[in-house]
Every structure is written in C-alpha cells, then in structure tokens.
Amino acid sequence: MALAETISNNFLPIFYSLIVIVVLIIIAKVLLTREKAQERKELADYRLKHKKLDIQRKQKHLDKLKEASMVLKDDEKEKIDEIERDKAVLSRRSLAMMNEIEERMQRLERGADNAKLMKTLKKVNRAERELFGEEER
C-alpha cells in the first residue's frame, strides 16, 4: 500500500520526468538523423568530384593521344591503323568463339538434363512394372 501511495502522490513529477526523457530521446534521434544525412550528402559530393576528376583525366589523356597522332608520320599512322584492324579481327574471332562455346555448353547442359530425365523415366517405368505388373498402356 505504501508503494501505491508514493506513486499516486508523486504521479505528476514522474509523468513530467517521463515526458522530458521521451522529448530528449526524440531530439537526439532527430540530431542523429540530420548528421547521417549530412554525411551521406558529403559522401555523394565527394564521389561526384571524384568522377569529375576521372572524366577530366580521361579527356586529357584522349587529347594527348590526338595530339600525338597528328605528329606521327603517314607510315607510322598506317602501321597503327593496321594493328587496330588486326585487333578488331581478333576481337570478332574471340567473340565468335565465346558464343560458340556458350552455345555448346548450353547444349551439353540440356543433354545432361535429358539423360537424367530418361534415366529417371526408366526407373519409374521399372518401379511401375514391379508394383503393378505388366499392364496395357
């Protein structure tokens, strides 16, 4: 009874204390959420700057390559063009071989699946014959 009396006598201070604690928790969560959002924004800005720098580096590299190709003699340019054509032919051949290998692998997989299914079908037929005997189908 003394505990119930103490709680009833001090109900308002306990209630106000709980409200203050809840408000403080809410404020802390809001502050943490803002801080996380700010960190995400800064990280996104950093990534964007990094991508811009990469693009600028690539552009400078391409510009240097263009300038270098203008300085080359005609026979040097022809050699480079010939190598690029040969590289393109090799790339097409490689792609064709990769496609052929992929198709053959798919055919092998389907063949293996078919063989497994045939084996299972034979087992089922054998089990049916053992259970039911020779029936007309």
Summarised one tens digit per residue, pLDDT across range 8-64 is: 788 888 889 999 999 999 999 999 999 999 999 999 999 999 999 999 999 998 888
For the chain, the structural domain boundaries read 1-71
Q: Which tokens go with 21?
A: 């604690």
Q: Is 98 in contact with 106 (CB distance < 8 Å)?
A: no
- Give the H or E element holding residue 35: helix 11-71
Summarised one tens digit per residue, pLDDT across range 92-132 is: 999 999 999 999 999 999 999 999 999 999 999 999 999 99
Whole-angstrom Cα distance, residue 126 to residue 120? 10
Whole-angstrom Cα distance, residue 63 to residue 71? 13
pTM: 0.39
Q: Which tokens go with 92?
A: 């097409």
